[in-house]
Amino acid sequence: MSEPVISLRGVRADLGSRPVLRGIDLTVSRGEVVALLGANGSGKSTAVRSVIGQVQTGAGEIELFGTPRRRFRDWHRVGYVPQRTTAAGGVPATVTEVVSSGRLSRARFGVLRKADREAVRRALELVGMADRAKDNVDALSGGQHQRVLIARALAAEPELLIMDEPMAGVDLASQEVLARTLRGQVEAGTTVLLVLHELGPLEPLIDRAVVLRDGCVVHDGPPPRAVGQHALPGHDHVHPHAPAGAEPIRTGLLS
Amino acid sequence: MEILDYAFMQRALLAAVLVGVTAPAVGIYLVQRRQALMGDGIGHVAMTGVGLGFLLSWSPVWMATLVSVLGAILMELIRWYGRTRGDIALAMLFYGGMAGGVMLINLAPTGSNANLTTYLFGSLSTVSKSDVTAICLLAAFVVLVTVGLRRQLFAVSQDEEFARVTGLPVRALNLLTAVTAAVTVTVAMRVVGLLLVSALMVVPVAAAQQLSRSFAATFAIAVAIGVTVTISGTVTSYYQDVPPGATIVLLTIGAFILLTALATPLARRRARAVAAAQGDGDPAECVIPPSRGSGGKVGV
């Protein structure tokens, strides 16, 4: 087994007095594509946000590239796509301006050189948004916003991509672009951890699925393959590893 | 121009230009992070500083700078730790600051409400030489931060969570933004007054947005509007004998209305051009496909 890129051991986190993560273990090795699945409120977003330090953890160890997260400084090795419906702020900004933010982890003192601007342009080409480079992000559709957010993460040319629900609210055409972009990254050796509500069009790329329920890992292994009627959107997926009598794990559109 | 023969008007115009540059330069980041009213809050807190300055017979400008910087840092801390109760804590800070200012200035031997009024609404004739020195130094700091760190401040104001993952010192940059806003409030205090400072931070940015598609252009246009209205407002105030702060703010709002009126048809034309360029993309209205007309059953 190659070195772990992400390693969580016994991570606990609380929101107020409510425990959201109750001691989860998660390891992502180099080159792996791991999907974090689970119903709303299962703690999957909190888990990835604890990896990047956005959520304070109560206990447990988190390592990135073998370094404890608190001492981790090589942020240019990590590309992050937060769960957002928009890339816009309170002031107009062009697609290039937003994506350039992603390059700051490689730019010294915030000065973007020619190579940095090239990287931004390449990231925009990867998601098929190069022709909209000078447009205001406010003028984009939901799927295009998501493509911009992914380009922003790719601008630093990261070794690890962490994505929180990248397919949420994305139209079919953009879903295909995103799946293709991700495939290219995976073929180039990028490690990927993504939070998903359902496997959807990314299913063929995923090596391993980790399913969370109530802040605990209830499955860690090959992705549950949906077949026949089970593959229909809205189908409740009853997971074989779940304890008997437990609520079915709802991964469908209707949950 | 006879207006430039008077030393006090030279000082006032210099202060006005600096305010015109700095207020929108900081304001754009506040608007971007949707904290447009933060400048107003800092203005309230700064009143306590002015009152302290009178009471202790120190320079009100430097005292106001000190107090409003402390207030801005406190506001930022409340934002981190306050969560849901944050807005109530902020309200107490703002009104406590205002009440403290009124109280202190009345306790001061040299102070009166008339003095306070010149700080609340601005006054050109009372801008002293030492005020101008202070304003120049403070304005230099504001320009250095808002232009020199524009990429970092842009990233943090656009998406704090993402900025953290690029390794930027998010908390330090947030504090720096708050401190810079506080410094700008005291720069603008003598010209537009504490109660109207926030307008000059926000309205030029809002007006610039009517014309621009990019952050860089919004920044440049907002500063251009800021300088134009502060200079013309100061000159008008001199010739018409009207209060400078109110004149400048009304001119800024006038600029906003004018630019909105000019930009709306432009934006519509641009949208139509984009739609035409994309060919028969999405139709503007709902179209029912002919194959599934009325009476057609929706199958399962």
DSSP string, A11-79: EEEEETTEEEEEEEEEEEETT-EEEEE--TTSSHHHHHHHHTTSS--SEEEEEETTEEGGG---GGGEE
Distance from CA of B4 to the nearest CA of A (A): 37
Distance from CA of A103 to the nearest CA of B (A): 8
Residue A139 with chain B: CB contacts under 8 Å: 274
Question: Would the CB atoms of A110 and B163 count as touching at under 8 Å?
Answer: no
* Residue B177 included in any domain: yes
Q: How many domains does chain B have?
A: 1
What average pLDDT does this structure show over B132-160?
Answer: 93
* Residue B158 included in any domain: yes
Query: Could you give the CA distance from residue B104 to residue A140 in angstroms, rounded to a whole number?
Result: 52
Distance from CA of B160 to the nearest CA of A (A): 10
Distance from CA of A54 to the nearest CA of B (A): 7
CATH at B186:
1.10.3470.10
**Confidence (pLDDT) at B289:** 59
Percent of chain B with pLDDT over 70: 89
* Residue A83 included in any domain: yes
Question: Would the CB atoms of B157 and A107 count as touching at under 8 Å?
Answer: no
Q: Which domain holds residue B98?
A: 2-196
Is residue B111 predicted with pLDDT exceeding 80?
A: no
Distance from CA of A241 to the nearest CA of B (A): 32
Q: How many domains does chain A have?
A: 1
Query: Could you give the CA distance from residue A48 to residue B216 in angstroms, rounded to a whole number?
Result: 33
CB < 8 Å from A in window 103-162 of B: 149-152, 154-155, 157-159, 161-162
**Confidence (pLDDT) at B277:** 64
Contact A215, A225 (CB under 8 A): no
Question: Would the CB atoms of B159 and A93 count as touching at under 8 Å?
Answer: no
What average pLDDT does this structure show over B85-89?
Answer: 76
Q: Which of A2-6, B68-72, B289-293 has the highest mean pLDDT?
A: B68-72
Question: Would the CB atoms of A82 and B28 count as touching at under 8 Å?
Answer: no
**Confidence (pLDDT) at A233:** 53
Residue with tokens 């404890």: A68
Residue A52 with chain B: CB contacts under 8 Å: 161, 164-165
**Confidence (pLDDT) at B45:** 92
Per-residue pLDDT of chain A (255 residues; tens, 9 = 90+): 567 899 999 899 888 788 888 888 999 999 999 999 988 888 888 999 999 888 888 888 999 998 998 889 899 999 999 987 777 888 999 999 999 999 998 887 778 888 899 999 999 999 999 999 999 998 888 888 999 999 999 999 999 999 998 888 788 888 888 888 999 999 999 999 999 887 878 888 899 999 988 888 888 888 876 555 555 555 555 545 544 444 444 444 443
CATH at A105:
3.40.50.300
pTM tops 0.80, yes or no = yes
* Residue A255 included in any domain: no
Question: Would the CB atoms of B205 and A54 count as touching at under 8 Å?
Answer: no
Q: Is A159 helix (H, G, I), strand (E, B) or coil?
A: coil
* Residue A246 included in any domain: no
Contact B95, B45 (CB under 8 A): no
Residue B149 with chain A: CB contacts under 8 Å: 110
B36 close contact with A: CB closer than 8 A: yes
Query: Could you give the CA distance from residue A227 to residue A240 in angstroms, rounded to a whole number?
Result: 15
Q: How far is CA A178 from the centre of its chain?
A: 12
Residue with tokens 């409340």: B78
What average pLDDT does this structure show over B206-221?
Answer: 94
Q: What is the DSSP string of A105-139?
A: TTSGGG---HHHHHHHHHHHHHTT-GGGTTSBGGG
**Half-sphere exposure in the Cβ direction for B10 (13 Å, CA):** 7
Q: pLDDT tens across B172-184, in order?
A: 999 999 999 999 9
B166 close contact with A: CB closer than 8 A: yes
B33 close contact with A: CB closer than 8 A: yes
Q: Which residue of A has its CA nearest to B35?
A: A90
Please, what is the average pLDDT of chain B? 86
Question: Would the CB atoms of A136 and B205 count as touching at under 8 Å?
Answer: no
Kindly tell me the burial class for residue A234, based on how many C-beta atoms sit within 10 Å of its own C-beta (0-12, 13-18, 19 or more). exposed
Contact A62, A37 (CB under 8 A): no
Which of A91, A134, A139 is closest, CB to CB, to B218? A91
* Residue B124 included in any domain: yes
B68 close contact with A: CB closer than 8 A: no
Question: Would the CB atoms of A92 and B36 count as touching at under 8 Å?
Answer: no
**Confidence (pLDDT) at B298:** 47
Computed on alpha carbons and rounded to an integer, the radius of gyration of chain A in Å comes to 18
* Residue B154 included in any domain: yes
**Confidence (pLDDT) at A250:** 47
Query: Could you give the CA distance from residue A23 to residue A59 in angstroms, rounded to a whole number?
Result: 8
A45 close contact with B: CB closer than 8 A: no
B163 close contact with A: CB closer than 8 A: yes
CA distances from B165 to A13, A72, A91, B30 (A): 19, 11, 22, 21
Contact A10, A59 (CB under 8 A): yes
**Confidence (pLDDT) at B282:** 54
Write down how long chain A is: 255
A80 close contact with B: CB closer than 8 A: yes
**Confidence (pLDDT) at B229:** 96
* Residue B126 included in any domain: yes
Residues 6+ apart with CB under 8 A from A87: A98, A137, A140, A145, A148, A149, A152, B159
Residue B208 β-bridge partners: none
Query: Could you give the CA distance from residue A54 to residue A51 in angstroms, rounded to a whole number?
Result: 8
Question: Would the CB atoms of B154 and A78 count as touching at under 8 Å?
Answer: no
**Confidence (pLDDT) at A100:** 94
Q: What is the DSSP string of chain B?
A: -GGGGSHHHHHHHHHHHHHHHHHHHHHHHHHHTT-TTHHHHHHHHHHHHHHHHHHHTS-HHHHHHHHHHHHHHHHHHHHHH-GGGHHHHHHHHHHHHHHHHHHHHHHSSS--HHHHHHHHH--STT--HHHHHHHHHHHHHHHHHHHHTHHHHHHHHH-HHHHHHTT--HHHHHHHHHHHHHHHHHHHHTTT-TTTHHHHHHHHHHHHHTT-SSHHHHHHHHHHHHHHHHHHHHHHHHHHT--HHHHHHHHHHHHHHHHHHHHHHHHHHHHHHHHHHT-S-S-SS----GGG-TT-----
Which of B149, B158, B215 is closest, CB to CB, to A110? B149
